């Protein structure tokens, strides 16, 4: 007998509830406004997590827990996601920077397709946008990392917005 996708007990039901998972669209968001905490680098061309205090006030989070500048997936099954990041960076010196999405489920962490390299002028805010497609399961997370390619002088990410949306 073929399922009509309405039979909650059917093996091919669209209802995720029949597998012990609430039928909820997965989305996660965190952001940072007017941050003054500097991100420090111990060495050149090495990614570090962006420093500062993020918030979720007014943000929508379903199947994600936002803590410590990180969105942790709590979905019971693996899903496909689109990560979208906007960040405003203010360097202390003229430099070249890289920014990328860090994915805990990937060896090495950095999602190379999301990497964006740019030149930045001391004291001049530079806004960048990056995106990436990835898969996540329960307990896996995304963060935003930055690297200084020329020196170890710190930068300040004054604004950060991270949105992860289920696409499959």
Whether the per-residue pLDDT at 86 is higher than 80: the answer is yes
pLDDT of residue 127: 98
Quote the CA–CA distance of 70 and 73 in Å, as a whole number. 10
Rounded distance, CA 121 to CA 96, Å? Answer: 9
Query: What confidence score (pLDDT) does residue 11 get?
Result: 47
**CATH 3.40.50.300, applies to 26-166:** no
Domain ranges of the chain: 26-166
Helix (H/G/I), strand (E/B), else coil: 69: coil
Asked whether residue 18 carries a pLDDT value surpassing 70, the answer given is: no
Asked if pLDDT for residue 20 goes beyond 80, the answer is no
Q: What is the pLDDT of residues 93-103, one digit of tens each?
A: 999 999 999 99
0.75 exceeded by pTM: yes
Which one has a higher pLDDT value, 61 or 118?
118
Are 112 and 49 in contact by the 8 Å Cβ rule? The answer is no
Q: Distance between CA 68 and CA 61 in Å, rounded?
A: 15
Residue 69 to residues 12, 17, 137, 158: CA-CA distances in angstroms?
37, 30, 19, 13
Digit-coded pLDDT (tens) for 112-154: 899 999 999 999 999 999 999 999 999 999 999 999 999 999 9
Distance separating alpha carbons of residues 109 and 49, to the nearest angstrom: 11
Nearest to 97 by CA among 54, 32, 48: 48
Query: What span, in angstroms and rounded, lies between the C-alpha atoms of 106 and 28?
Result: 19
What's the CA gap between 55 and 35, in Å, rounded? 11
């Amino acid at each position: 007998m073929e399922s009509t996708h309405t039979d909650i007990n059917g093996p091919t039901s669209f209802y995720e509830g029949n597998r012990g998972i609430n039928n909820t669209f997965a989305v996660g968001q965190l952001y940072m406004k007017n941050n003054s905490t500097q991100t420090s680098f111990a060495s050149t061309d090495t990614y570090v997590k962006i420093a500062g205090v993020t918030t979720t006030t007014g943000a929508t989070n379903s199947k994600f827990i936002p803590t410590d500048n990180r969105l942790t997936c709590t979905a019971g099954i693996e899903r496909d996601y689109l990560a979208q990041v906007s960040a405003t960076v203010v360097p202390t010196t003229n430099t070249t920077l890289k920014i990328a999405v860090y994915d805990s489920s990937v060896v090495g962490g950095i999602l190379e397709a999301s990497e964006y390299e740019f030149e930045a002028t001391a004291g001049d805010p530079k806004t960048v946008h990056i995106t990436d497609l990835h898969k996540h399961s329960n307990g896996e997370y995304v963060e935003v990392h930055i690297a200084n390619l020329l020196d170890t002088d710190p930068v300040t990410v004054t604004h950060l917005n991270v949105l992860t949306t289920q696409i499959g």
